[in-house]
């Protein structure tokens, strides 16, 4: 079950797929060497966009949810990867404290948390849930939609450690992206492993750092495969101080939008792509799908200063004041029953453990699909067909497509690893 891809545009992506397959041992070795020098994030999910002519990660989530969307067939892979992850971090561990997102209460999210509990229990840990919600003073049962329940317990903080009543974990696994800031209770936990680290949260994280790392890696990787890095890397620029409300910093945005659109146009011409280029303007910080503008012409930004002109237009949802990213837009040309589809790949430790298609019936090919109304169709990554089949016609084989997705998603994961190293506030600097 591979979503349909508009065939007229599959030329370059099929070439990429073929090159990725042919280079499989070299690619896997390349990843092995990267992981000798760098530490993979404990877990992550990467949203990809397949434009037919290029394939790129558009979001690398270090606090992934949606584990409930993986098919049961994928679970053994997740458990095996979790075992490998634990073994490296804290092999003697008995207990794992999992801290879910305290702002998300929908039942899909709770099912994802349940899935994580399952995975880490089966990997051999006693897993309990601690809540960041300070209002919770007593253990609280939450009923799951598919039956069963989760027990959320109040956190207990001592000097250097965090735990629950009668529960002292070796590792604390965070599933809250800290969009609202770092809770005091998580500060200064020097005696335990807090994963991902605090600076992976959106309080400190910036998309531009990730994009910089990804660009560097895309170039290295493209060199390995002897191809144009643009095929896997969306171009981008950064504007430091922008406030759309009072038109501050708009010149920077306008000029980068213009330059970027020009560059994309030249690339499209080079590859014979008959598309109208677009860029995406979005906040440098924050994980939400809001404040994202799709721009096809720098002139569209002129309306920005006029609240009345903005109302009801594409410009109604503007990035908040702060730094913004101007990024080459990558349309997604995968379709499932006529709805736009975007693959999402899940990783634990260095391993791809599954994935699914995010499908949104009401959104366009150039819009963000991570928004209310999206539906999920599990991708059969771990089925018999998962393993790539060399020798099959490019574009015709689901396993080969998925293998390519897994490779590009892992490239995003390596970039996250570089990014976290570069932004670690406690890293020692060797000059």
Chain contacts with its own copies (rule: CB under 8 A): 24-29, 31-33, 35-36, 71-73, 75-77, 79-81, 83-84, 86-87, 91-94, 118, 121-126, 350-351, 381-388
Nearer to its own copies, 98 or 261 (CB): 98
CA gap 97, 122 in Å, rounded: 15
Maximal CA-CA distance, the chain:
64
Q: How far is the CB of 181 from its own copies (least distance, A)?
A: 33
CA–CA dist 348, 45 (Å, integer): 9
Whether the ω angle into residue 366 lies within 30 degrees of 0, i.e. cis, is no
Q: How far is CA 165 from CA 92, 129, 152, in A?
A: 20, 11, 12
Nearest residue (CB) to its own copies, 126 versus 337: 126
Q: Provide, rounded to whole angstroms, the least separation between the CB of residue 403 and its own copies.
A: 9
DSSP string for 6-54: -GGG-HHHHHHHHHHHHTHHHHHHHHHHHHHHSPPPSEEEEEEEE-SS-
* CB closer to its own copies, 44 vs 339: 44
Give the nearest distance from C-beta 223 to its own copies in angstroms.
Answer: 17
Handedness of CA 330, 220, 199, 342 (dihedral sign): positive
In the complex with its own copies, which residue's Cβ is closer, 39 or 106?
39
The C-alpha atoms of residue 163 and residue 286 are separated, in whole angstroms, by 28
Provide, rounded to whole angstroms, the least separation between the CB of residue 231 and its own copies.
Answer: 22
Instruction: Closer to its own copies by CB, 52 or 388: give it.
Output: 388
- DSSP class of residue 206 equals -
Tell me the closest approach of the beta carbon of residue 299 to its own copies, in angstroms. Answer: 49
| Strand (E) or helix (H) holding 209 | helix 207-225
Judged by beta carbon, residue 12 or residue 130, the one nearer its own copies is: 130
Rounded CA-CA distance 302/310 in Å is: 10
Shortest Å distance, C-beta 404 to its own copies: 14
- Quote the CA–CA distance of 24 and 123 in Å, as a whole number: 29
Min dist. Cβ of residue 57 to its own copies (A) = 21
Rounded to a whole number of angstroms, the minimum distance from the CB of residue 74 to its own copies is: 9
Minimal distance in Å, beta carbon 33 to its own copies? 7
The closest of 350, 332, 362 to 414, measured between CA atoms, is 350
Closest to its own copies by CB, 29 vs 299, is 29
Q: Which is nearer to its own copies, 82 or 295 (CB)?
A: 82
**97 CB neighbour count, 10 Å cutoff:** 25
**Closest C-alpha to 122, from 77, 92, 155:** 77
- Return d(Cα 395, Cα 397) in angstroms, integer: 6
Q: Across-strand partners of 326? A: 237, 281
Nearer Cβ to its own copies, position 24 or 422? 24
């Amino acid at each position: 079950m591979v979503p349909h891809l508009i065939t007229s545009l599959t030329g370059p992506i099929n070439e990429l797929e073929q090159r990725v397959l042919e280079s499989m041992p070299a690619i896997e070795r390349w990843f092995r060497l990267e992981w000798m020098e760098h530490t993979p994030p404990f877990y992550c999910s990467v949203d990809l966009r397949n434009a037919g002519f290029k394939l790129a990660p558009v979001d690398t989530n270090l606090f992934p949810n949606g584990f409930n969307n993986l098919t049961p067939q994928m679970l053994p892979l997740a458990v095996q990867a979790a075992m490998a992850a634990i073994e490296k971090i804290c092999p003697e561990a008995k207990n794992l404290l999992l801290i879910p997102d305290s702002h998300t209460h929908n039942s899909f999210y709770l099912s994802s948390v349940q899935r994580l509990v399952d995975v880490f229990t089966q990997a051999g840990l006693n897993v309990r849930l601690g809540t960041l919600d300070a209002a919770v003073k007593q253990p609280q049962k939450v009923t799951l939609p598919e039956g069963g329940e989760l027990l959320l317990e109040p956190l207990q903080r001592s000097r250097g450690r965090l735990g629950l009543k009668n529960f002292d974990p070796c590792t604390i696994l965070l599933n809250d992206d800290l969009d609202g800031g770092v809770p005091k209770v998580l500060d200064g936990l020097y005696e335990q492993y807090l994963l991902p680290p605090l600076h992976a949260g959106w309080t400190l994280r910036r998309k531009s750092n990730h994009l910089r790392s990804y660009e560097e890696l895309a170039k290295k990787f493209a060199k390995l495969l002897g191809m144009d890095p643009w095929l896997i890397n969306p171009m981008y620029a950064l504007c430091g101080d922008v406030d759309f409300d009072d038109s501050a910093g708009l010149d920077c945005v306008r000029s980068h939008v213009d330059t970027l659109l020009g560059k994309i146009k030249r690339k499209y011409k080079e590859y014979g792509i008959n598309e109208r280029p677009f860029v995406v303007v979005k906040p440098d910080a924050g994980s939400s799908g809001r404040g994202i503008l799709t721009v096809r012409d720098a002139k569209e930004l002129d309306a920005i200063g006029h609240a009345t002109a903005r109302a009801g237009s594409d410009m109604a949802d503007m990035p908040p004041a702060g730094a913004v990213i101007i990024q080459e837009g990558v349309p997604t040309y995968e379709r499932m029953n006529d709805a736009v589809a975007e693959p999402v790949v899940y990783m634990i430790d260095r391993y791809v453990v599954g994935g699914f298609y995010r499908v949104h019936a009401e959104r366009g090919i150039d819009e963000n699909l991570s928004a209310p109304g999206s539906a999920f169709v599990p991708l059969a990554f771990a089925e018999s067909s998962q393993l790539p089949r060399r020798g099959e016609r490019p574009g015709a084989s689901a396993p080969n497509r998925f293998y390519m997705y897994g490779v590009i998603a892992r490239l995003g994961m390596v970039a996250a690893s570089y990014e976290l190293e570069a932004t670690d506030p406690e890293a020692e600097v060797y000059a």
